[in-house]
């Protein structure tokens, strides 16, 4: 089998750049959610980080190890079913295991593209009455946005309309294990 990195045309965000930025994000999040910070949970519980499967898994695993305060985590899995008749439609595949009532919730995404997924999650989570609800994404692909989304923590802005893979992001479920983010060579896109 070919090494997957031979299928990459160019690197957009290297392992080193991702790790350096994740360190910064972890410190920002720790600062904001520390005692006396922006956390609102009336019982003072640790913030609950929600990983949006599957793309955010790799980023989540690195990010939580760079947040040096108490945190809890949970997972949700959604899928976009958008088509010609219902563009941007998102469906729930696997729900959270914990209630959000009164919690300080931070959604962790690998990428926000059109914004439909995060819009769906924010609306659904807001209805569960968290104490606060914020969003952290590694990549903000601003050029493709179709909804208005407030992002609290952004790793990198992606201002070109490149189809990217790696560090959790896939093409046809492959390349999630590439340790950096790059653009696939055209010949490997079917």
- Nearer to ligand PRP by Cβ, of 120 and 131: the residue is 120
Is residue 110 part of the contact set for ligand PRP (CB under 6 A)?
yes
> Which of 34, 79, 132, 154 is the binder for ligand PRP (CB under 6 A)?
79
> Which of 25, 29, 117, 184 is the binder for ligand PRP (CB under 6 A)?
117
Residue 137 phi/psi, 5-degree rounding, is -130, 145
Rg from Cα positions in the chain = 17
Q: How far apart are CA 142 and CA 149, in angstroms?
A: 10
> Which of 112, 135, 158, 165 is the binder for ligand PRP (CB under 6 A)?
112
Is residue 140 part of the contact set for ligand PRP (CB under 6 A)?
no
3 state DSSP class of 129: coil
Instruction: State in angstroms the smallest separation of the CB of 36 from ligand PRP.
Output: 32
Select the residue whose beta carbon is closest to ligand PRP and give its number. 55
Listed ranges 15-23, 54-62, 64-72, 155-163: which one lies at the site for ligand PRP (CB under 6 A): 54-62
Is residue 4 part of the contact set for ligand PRP (CB under 6 A)?
no
Q: Are 43 and 70 in contact (CB under 8 A)?
A: no
DSSP 66: T
Reduced 3-state DSSP string for 34-58: CCCCCCCCCCCCCCEEEEEECCCHH
Q: How far apart are CA 54 and CA 127, in angstroms?
A: 23
- Contacts with ligand PRP by CB under 6 A lie at 52, 54-56, 79-80, 109-117, 170
| Catalytic center residues | 113
């Amino acid at each position: 089998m070919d090494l997957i990195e031979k299928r990459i045309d160019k690197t957009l965000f290297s392992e080193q750049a991702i790790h350096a930025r994740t360190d910064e994000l972890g410190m920002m999040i720790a600062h904001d959610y520390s005692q006396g910070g922006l956390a609102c949970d009336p019982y003072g519980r640790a913030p609950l980080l929600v990983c949006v499967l599957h793309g955010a898994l790799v980023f989540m695993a690195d990010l939580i190890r760079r947040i040096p305060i108490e945190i809890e985590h949970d997972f949700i899995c959604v899928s976009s079913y958008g088509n010609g008749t219902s563009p941007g439609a998102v469906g729930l595949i696997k729900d959270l295991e914990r209630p959000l009532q009164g919690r300080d919730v931070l959604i962790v995404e690998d990428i926000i593209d059109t914004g439909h997924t995060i819009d769906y999650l924010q609306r659904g989570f807001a209805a569960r009455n968290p104490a606060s609800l914020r969003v952290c994404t590694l990549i903000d692909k601003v050029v493709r946005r179709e909804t208005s989304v407030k992002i609290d923590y952004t790793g990198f802005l992606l201002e070109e309309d490149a189809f990217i893979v790696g560090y959790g992001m896939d093409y046809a479920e492959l390349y999630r294990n590439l340790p950096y983010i790059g653009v696939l060579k055209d010949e490997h896109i079917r």
